[in-house]
Structure 1
Amino acid sequence: MIRKLLSYLIPITIYKNKSSWSKSIEVTWANGELVLDSENTNYSYGSLQRILRLGLKKIGFRQIKAMNKILVLGVAGGSVIKTLVNEVYYKGAITGIEIDPEIIKVANSYFNLSQIPNLSIVITDAFEFVLQANEKYDLIIVDIFQDTNMPGFLFENFFTEKLCSLLQNKGHILFNTMVLNKKDNLRNEKYCNEFYQPNFRLKTIPRVEIHNELILIERIN
């Protein structure tokens, strides 16, 4: 409790480690809440939770609550999963894909992710999982970062086409991107301008928390 109160004055790091995928994994008390950070950016909770919560609100909490299956690509500390469970009151199946087992250990120890009964975690590469997947989902959340870098495959047409093929009718993709410079901005512009999938529509929510842009894709029939 003392750490939590002091964190309103100064961030207090209570755990720091690294893994084969992350140079730094830190759990910190900041402004009265626990957050998970990498070396240069927020990985879960804090600003990232606010960003993805906004995306979920744009889709609609009531609509999400009625869904049956949700896929989360990039779990980290699980903040978007906590939003789904604690704020949306989502009771359907959640499948979380995370490549870094050390991150999941931290998520279980500090954020009680393992106590969510409708959550299944798969430790694997999201690219490989998506390419081999056949199951349909009502919502796919894409939140994959290696510190401030985003893997290039996320913006490839064939990956987007495969993601879209995994959506149920009226399903949604919520894609969180980081825009730090002109190159990132051009990358997102190219992605959106070249997007073409029959029976799908795309819209963006730019400059969320300054450096993030949300891309929303909806299957309309």
Structure 2
Amino acid sequence: MFKKLFSYIIPVNIHKQNSSISKNIEITWANGELVLDSKNTNYSYGSLQRILRKGLKSIGFERVLKMQNILVLGVAGGSVIKTLSEEIKFKGKITGVEIDSEIIKIANSYFHLDKIENLEIVIDDAFEFVLKTKEKYDLIIIDIFQDTTMPNFLFEEFFQNRTCFLLKEKGVILFNTMCLSEKENSRNKKYLENVNSELFLARTIPRVEDHNELIILERK
């Protein structure tokens, strides 16, 4: 309790761990809440939870509540899953795909992700998972980072088309991106230009928490 109270003055680190995939992982009390960070950015809770909550609010909590099947690509500490479960009270199936098994162990220990009954965690590469899955989803949340870097495959036309194919009728993609340079702004612009406007409505929520841009694709 003292560490939690003291964190309103200065962040208090309580756990550090190296991972072969995520490199440096830290659990910190910050402003009275536990957050999961990499070396240079927030991975779960804190600002990241605010970013994805804003995206879900834009889609509509009531709309999300009526969905049946949600896919989360990139779980980390599971902050968006906690928003779905605890704030929206989503009762349908949540499938979380995370490549780093170590980070899931931390999420279970510190954030009790394993207590969410309607959540299935799959340890797999997101690219491989979307190739293999035969399910269709009402909502696909893409939130994949390696520290401040996003894997290139996320913006390739093949991956974009495959995730769009996995959507049910009226399904939605919520894609959290980080833009730190003009090159990354251009990358996002190209991604949006590749959207099939006959099948999808595309919009953005720019500059969420300074450097994040949310891309929302809605199947017509």
Instruction: Give the TM-score normalised by structure 1.
Output: 0.98
1: distance between equivalents of 2:148 and 2:160? 21
CA deviations over 1:45-66 (Å, ceiling 9, x no partner): 0000000000000100001001
Per-residue CA deviation, residues 102-153 of structure 1 (Å, 9 max, x unaligned), is: 0000000000000000000000000000011220000000000000010001
State the match for 1:198 in structure 2. Answer: 198
For 2:162, the equivalent position in structure 1 comes to 162
> Which amino acid in 2 is paired with 1:15?
H
Give the alignment of 1:58-77 within 5 angstroms. Answer: 58-77=58-77
Aligned length: 220
CA distance in structure 2 between the partners assigned to 1:143 and 1:22 by the alignment: 14
Q: Quote the Cα distance in structure 2 between the aligned partners of 1:83 and 1:96.
A: 14
Once the two structures are TM-superposed, the CA of residue 165 in structure 1 deviates from its matched residue by 0.7
Q: Deviations over 1:64-107 (max 9, x none)?
A: 00110000000000000000011101000000000000000000
SS in 1 for 2:180: coil
The 10-residue stretch of structure 1 (183-192 or 67-76) with the greater mean CA deviation from structure 2? 183-192
Note the residue ranges of structure 2 that are not aligned, 5 or more in a row: none
Give the corresponding residue for 2:53.
Answer: 53
Question: Which residues of structure 1 form unaligned runs of 5+?
Answer: none
Give yes or no for contact 1:140–1:172 (8 Å, CA) kept in 2.
yes
Secondary structure of 1:56's partner?
A: helix
Q: How does 1:77-96 map to 2 (within 5 A)?
A: 77-96=77-96
Task: Give the whole-Å Cα distance in 2 for the aligned partners of 1:64 and 1:23.
Answer: 33
Aligned-residue CA RMSD in angstroms?
0.7
> Tell me, what secondary structure is at the counterpart of 1:24?
strand
SS in 1 for 2:89: coil
Q: How does 1:1-80 map to 2 (within 5 A)?
A: 1-80=1-80
In 2: Cα distance, 1:50 partner to 1:118 partner? 22
Q: Aligned AA for 2:175? A: F
Q: CA deviation at 1:197?
A: 5.3
CA–CA distance in 2 between the matches of 1:6 and 1:38?
22
Q: What is aligned with 2:139?
A: 139
Moved over 6 A (4+): none
Q: Which residue of 2 aligns with 1:183?
A: 183
1:172-211, Cα deviation, whole Å (9 max, x unpaired)? 0000000011111111111112322532111111000000
Q: What's the CA shift string for 1:160-181, capped at 9, x where partnerless?
A: 1110111111110000000011
Paired amino acid for 1:110:
Y
Identity %: 67
Match of 1:212 in 2: 212
**Maintained 8 Å contact 1:161/1:197:** no
Paired with 2:189 and 2:206, the residues of 1 have a C-alpha distance of: 11
